[in-house]
Amino acid sequence: MGFKQEIQRRRTFGIVSHPDAGKTTLTEKLLLFGGAIRVAGAVKNNKIKKGATSDFMEIERQRGISVATSVMGFEYNGYKVNILDTPGHQDFQEDTFRTLTAVDSVIIVIDAAKGVEPQTEKLMNVCRMRKTPVIVFVNKLDRPAQDSFTLMDEIEKQLKIKVRPLSWPINSGPDFKGVYSIFNKSLNLFNPSIQEIEKGIHFEDIASPELENHIKDDAQVLREELELVEGVYQEFEIGEYLKGELAPVFFGSALYNFGVQELLDAFVKIAPTPQPSQTEERVITPDENKFSGFIFKIHANIDPNHRSRIAFVKVCSGRFERNKVYKHVRSGKTVRISSPTTFMASQKEIVEEAFPGDIVGLPDTGNFIIGDTVTDGENIHFKGLPSFSPELFRYIENADPMKSKQLAKGIDQLMDEGVAQLFTSQFNGRKIIGTVGQLQFEVIQYRLEHEYGAKCRFESIQMHKACWIECEDTSELKEFKSRKHQKMATDKRGRDVFMADSAFILQMAQDEFKNVKFHFTSEF
């Protein structure tokens, strides 16, 4: 197959939602349809004993939530599909926001009973800002749900986007009969006792009396609702969808496979192929001959037995080849990747080549950081990776003096993942962790103990903001650091950081030192 054909058949997308909307369960079912797994798992379901493929970290299995983005790829009907399952919990939104820079489209999962929730709105704002095409999947129709038309109005109003249903549910909860695919003209009947894939029944003419044979008294209601759908909502325009102005909507129950195949079949046909990427220097198009890509995620300790660390690179242009020498732009050094990998969550295999849209794992010993560019030789810098600004701070202390090396290594690797920031006080040398959510402290503590064999404890600290400072006037900078030496720290990259313990202290410092620039975000 030719280079351009390989690009055209790729679909790279992220799945996002508010916690517990069923995002990871939907990922499992998409993998099942793609033949990537034989038995679908569930995040929280006693009927299914297998854990979710994308939740491969021990803490994810225990908590029943995703705390890190998982990368998975599979073949489906001639298409190469790359899924990035993101954390839904707001404490891990930083990982999700960065992941959205590496996808060409997004599927938003909404709970049919709860409707649009706050985290969904935040994620939609990021998609809107980046003009990323979105598809909405309304999940959990097997449970009592809001009226479908009410849900459509809520999605349109809360997510600020035009909508167009491409499938429609037949009731919900105990009366749920299945979904009718407007896109494929097929009827998919609900059977709550199965976990296998059920094929839809082709049904071009819903006016046919045969519809009553399948759904009895609900046939007429379905006909009326579908007529209303056609009257109220505009025709589906693929151009508007690709511009991020129109969201196709699908209904179903991910847990029971219903509506999922309709979603996948439509997705591979309408979703965008790999898109151009913006760098500081120029626009990079996927069909360029020379390879380029950027690191959007680092996962430390992906295999606890080998203390391995993987840098995830999104291929933006050209063909990536194993054992070829590439340029690491930030360091100016060349790198040869002898064992690049593709993923099924924690299961990985060596890949010989990859194309634009693919996500490749590069084994890393600490050379890469988030935002790094890897190219065939050109000096370019990809833009748009969201920066991380901590909101909560804690001192981190060693709880087991015999394991100080393990603790140091664990902190070093976990901080490189970008889930938290490490600051070292210039006054007393104490280490401070900054995060955006309380749950991250628990995850760090858990992973240090169970993955690195190191125990830590956190101590509270009164802190308002971490501000990166710079000043062209070296004498004023020196005076600032001298006067504020008790509040000065260094970040992991050795940059000066002013740790302001209140908004008042920060304002006073800004008023007193006019030439010092205070940066409230740190670009990776």
Residues 131-152 pLDDT 10s: 999 999 999 999 999 999 999 9
Of residues 13 and 300, the one with the higher pLDDT is 13
CA 235 to chain centre: 30
- Mean pLDDT along residues 195-202: 63
pLDDT score recorded for residue 185: 86
- Mean pLDDT along residues 160-187: 90
Lowest mean pLDDT among 16-30, 302-316, 352-366: 302-316
CA angle 117, 121, 127 (to 5 degrees): 145
Question: Is pLDDT of 387 > 70?
Answer: no
For the chain, how far is it from start to end, CA to CA, in angstroms? 37
> Hey, what are 367's tokens?
């050379």
| 201-202/186-189 β-pairing | antiparallel
Of residues 293 and 307, the one with the higher pLDDT is 293
Of residues 159 and 60, the one with the higher pLDDT is 159
Mean predicted lDDT score pLDDT of the chain: 84
- Mean pLDDT along residues 448-458: 89
- Mean pLDDT along residues 84-92: 58
- Mean pLDDT along residues 241-257: 92
CB atoms within 10 A of CB 129: 11
Of residues 481 and 20, the one with the higher pLDDT is 481
| 167-170/162-165 β-pairing | unpaired
| Token pair 């105990």 in the structure block, residue | 174
**Percent of the chain's residues with pLDDT above 90:** 45
Q: Which of 138, 83, 85 is nearest to 114 (CA)?
A: 138
Q: What is the DSSP letter of 236?
A: P
- Mean pLDDT along residues 383-393: 71
In tens, the pLDDT along 420-449 reads 889 999 999 999 998 877 777 888 888 888
d(CA 449, CA 407): 9
In tens, the pLDDT along 52-62 reads 444 444 544 45
Domains along the sequence of the chain with CATH: 3-270 (3.40.50.300), 277-375 (3.40.50.300), 392-519 (3.30.70.3280)
Strands (E), 120-226: 134-139, 162-165, 167-170, 178-181, 186-189, 201-202
Categorize the per-residue pLDDT at 303 as very low, low, confident or very high, splitting at 50, 70 and 90. Answer: low
319 contacts: CB under 8 Å, gap ≥ 6: 3, 291, 353, 354, 355
Question: Is pLDDT of 241 > 70?
Answer: yes
Cα distances from 68 to residues 187, 271, 361, 426, in angstroms, run 36, 24, 15, 31
CB atoms within 10 A of CB 153: 14
Cα distances from 378 to residues 45, 170, 192, 295, 333, in angstroms, run 49, 55, 55, 16, 12
